[in-house]
Structure formats: structure tokens, C-alpha cells
Amino acid sequence: MTDKPFSQACENNKRPILEVLEQAFATRKHVLEIGSGTGQHAVFLSANLPHLLWQTSDQAEYHAGIQAWLDEENVLNCKSPITLKIGEQAIPDKLYDGIFTANTAHIMQRDEVKLMMKQVSNVLPPRGVFCQYGPFTENGEFSSQSNADFHASLLERGCGGYRDISELTQWAPSLTLESIYRMPANNLCLVWTK
Ligand SMILES: C[S@@+](CC[C@H](N)C(=O)[O-])C[C@H]1O[C@@H](n2cnc3c(N)ncnc32)[C@H](O)[C@@H]1O
């Protein structure tokens, strides 16, 4: 049996994220989560949004941890992870009417984020919703010194680092950025609709 991976950040941000998704996903039915990570968001958010069918996904090495959370919480509307690494697998077309991702765009390489925005933009049906949580820059500006420092440390580790909202907008031609929610710890939740 796999020990459950644990992220304190997920514990801290899951309730504020739920408040956004309660509105944004109110009329959605089938949601894909890109980069489920530990699986903590998936079990909490799906349990609190029981009208949704929630599909977890990530690179294969994360699956055992995600499954450990699913097994323990046994949330009936949360499904075992599929393998999805943007750049290696394509997001399934026309299957999901909502897509959620948290804290992935600053980890991915720039080209992967570009591809994610393009694919999300293509696969969502009309009125589909994409909720994207994490740290971003706006007009090239960091919202805090700690965010600027974190970005520099990500680049040192070989991650792509923070993306600017203007880049994301450019890469998602058929999405409209409906709302920008200001979240705790200088994070944002971007709500896009098709
Ligand atoms: C910082 S973790 C965030 C995990 C979780 N969503 C959270 O908020 O705690 C970054 C996640 O992005 C995923 N990731 C990195 N590159 C990816 C890619 N190209 N396609 C899909 N997921 C990717 C990682 O596997 C990891 O689960």
C-alpha cells in the first residue's frame, strides 16, 4: 500500500478553490483535472461538488499517490487517474465540459503551457469552463517579492517559471478570460469560458 502524499498548500487552498468552483462549475457535468499531484484537491473538490464526475490525471509516477487518496476517501464521483502529460498525450477531445488545473503552469515548460492552453481551447465544447489556479504575473509584474523569488528558484530548478496572463490569453484563442479571482498567498484563479 502506498503512503498518501501530503501537501500543506493543498490543505490551505482547497476551501478557497472550492468557493470559486461552486460558481464556475455549477452547471458542468464532467471535469478533467490536469496534474492532480497528490490527489488531495481531487478528493476534496469532488466530494463537495457531487453533481460532477471528476477525472484525475497526471504523469504515471503520481498515480499510486492519487489512488491512495481515492481508496481512503472512496468518493464515488472521483475516478482513478489517467496518464496525461501535456506534450506526450493529447487531452481527450469533447469528453469534458470543464477542466481544472492547479499549480501546473509554473512547473511546466513554456511550450507545454502553450500547448495546454491550445488543447484546452480546442477540446472544450461551447460554454465549456477552464479553471486555472496558481501564481501568475500580470502585465509582467509579480504580485509580491516572494513570488519573484519563487519564480527565480523555479528557473534554477529547470522549471518553466511563472507565465503572464497575457501569454495565456494569446495561446487560448477560443477562450475568454471571464474572471480573475484573487486568492490567498498571492495566487490567482483564472476562469476561462469557451
Ligand atoms: C506543483 S505540482 C501541483 C500538483 C497539484 N495540482 C497541487 O496543486 O498541489 C505540479 C503538477 O504538474 C504536473 N505536471 C508537470 N508537467 C506536466 C505536464 N507537461 N503535463 C501535465 N502535468 C504536468 C506534475 O506532474 C505535478 O503533478
Judge whether 62 lies within some domain.
Answer: yes
pLDDT-based confidence at residue 2 (cuts at 50, 70, 90): low
The CA distance from 154 to 161, in Å, is: 5
Total number of domains in the chain: 1
Judge whether 2 lies within some domain.
Answer: no
CATH number reported for the structural domain that contains residue 51 in this entry? 3.40.50.150
Contact between residue 105 and residue 161 where contact means Cβ atoms under 8 Å apart: no
Query: What range defines the domain where residue 174 resides?
Result: 8-193
- Work out the average pLDDT over 16-21: 98
Which atom of ligand 1 has the smallest separation from the CA of 85?
Answer: 20
Judge whether 152 lies within some domain.
Answer: yes
User: pLDDT tens digits for 19-70?
Assistant: 999 999 999 999 999 999 999 999 999 999 999 999 999 999 999 999 999 9
Measuring CA to CA, which residue among 144, 136, 120, 119 is closest to residue 190?
Answer: 136
Judge whether 188 lies within some domain.
Answer: yes
Judge whether 3 lies within some domain.
Answer: no
Which pLDDT does position 94 carry in this prediction? Answer: 83
User: pLDDT tens digits for 152-175?
Assistant: 999 999 999 999 999 999 999 899
Residue 121 has pLDDT above 70, yes or no: yes
The CA distance from 112 to 135, in Å, is: 17
Judge whether 1 lies within some domain.
Answer: no
Mutate-to-test residue for ligand 1 from 11, 14, 32, 107, highest number of ligand atoms within 8 A of CB: 107
Contact between residue 123 and residue 91 where contact means Cβ atoms under 8 Å apart: yes
For 3, the enclosing helix (H) or strand (E) is none
